[in-house]
Amino acid sequence: MKDSLDQLCIHTITTKPWKLEESVLHFSQAGVKGISVWDDSIKTLGAKKSGELIKEHGMEIVSYVRGGFFPSTSETKRQEAIDQNKKLVEEAALLGAPSLVLVCGAEPNQSLDMSRKQIQEGIEAVIPLAEQLNVKLSIEPLHPMYADTRSAVNTLKQANEMAEAIDHEMVGIAVDVYHLWWDPELEAQIKRCAKNNHLFAFHICDWAVPTNDLLLDRGLMGEGCIPLKEIKKWIDDTGFSGYHEVEIFSNKFWAMGQQEFLQKIITAYKNYTA
């Protein structure tokens, strides 16, 4: 019988107070199989040693987070973003991560259409290195409330259109329920994404009611208003067999003992998969 935690992945940002070594130790002891690594968490050990540590504990590295932030009214800054993303691709390869998640960015002093054009151009400039190092690039559409500076890609439809326009096997999409749960087209766009082999990642959490902070008050699965089981069914129906990645930013949960929080995550995940 398949272990109920076989598809559970936790992002290192979720247990932010822990150093990478602590996250890896406690995740693995709890039976968590996957880990997505944020760039801040490898600063002490470096990418290569961080990857070795994770593998020594029998865990799978699911993704490296986060690249992107391509748009700017300055050509120099756009090139700097491309160079930074190439550096992150190199780190992902050293880490042993199969993909780099892209929070694509936006420039408030220009149109969203222009920012999307620059995002596509930025991704296309990184593809040759990503292909060489076998690191996939995952476009993550963000909730429209972040369209000012964090991302001009705000719906799964927009992400699908961009991935299809780029049309390269190294480029796909990370679907995050926090950003996309509200979209009336979500089911159809998930099917479209999977049909084109662009469904690279699936991130889960919940939308707290009321939400006290739009960035730092994400909820555990089952304690908010996101129809998680319905969205999970849409994902499962595509044949997606990858990890369900818990990505929670929460001042409330970061303030508690992280061992206690980890147990809450596991309990919530088991209820979500039941």
Q: What is the CATH number of the domain that holds 163?
A: 3.20.20.150
- The residue range of the domain holding 114 is 8-273
Torsions phi, psi for 268 (to 5 deg): -65, -40
Q: Print pLDDT tens along the chain (274 aa).
A: 245 899 999 999 999 999 999 999 999 999 999 999 999 999 999 999 999 999 999 999 999 999 999 999 999 999 999 999 999 999 999 999 999 999 999 999 999 999 999 999 999 999 999 999 999 999 999 999 999 999 999 999 999 999 999 999 999 999 999 999 999 999 999 999 999 999 999 999 999 999 999 999 999 999 999 999 999 999 999 999 999 999 999 999 999 999 999 999 999 999 999 9
**Residue 36 falls within a domain, yes or no?**
yes
Our count of domains for the chain comes to 1
**Residue 171 falls within a domain, yes or no?**
yes
**Residue 103 falls within a domain, yes or no?**
yes
8 A C-beta contact, residue 162 and residue 172: no
**Residue 212 falls within a domain, yes or no?**
yes
Q: How far is CA 199 from CA 96, 176, 182, 190, 202, in A?
A: 20, 11, 19, 8, 8
Tell whether the torsion through CA atoms of 81, 83, 86 and 90 is positive or negative: negative
**Residue 2 falls within a domain, yes or no?**
no
Max alpha carbon distance in the chain (Å)?
Answer: 55
Chain centroid offset of residue 232 CA: 16
The alpha helices in the chain, defined as continuous H runs, are 20-30, 47-56, 75-95, 112-133, 156-166, 177-180, 186-195, 228-237, 251-254, 258-273
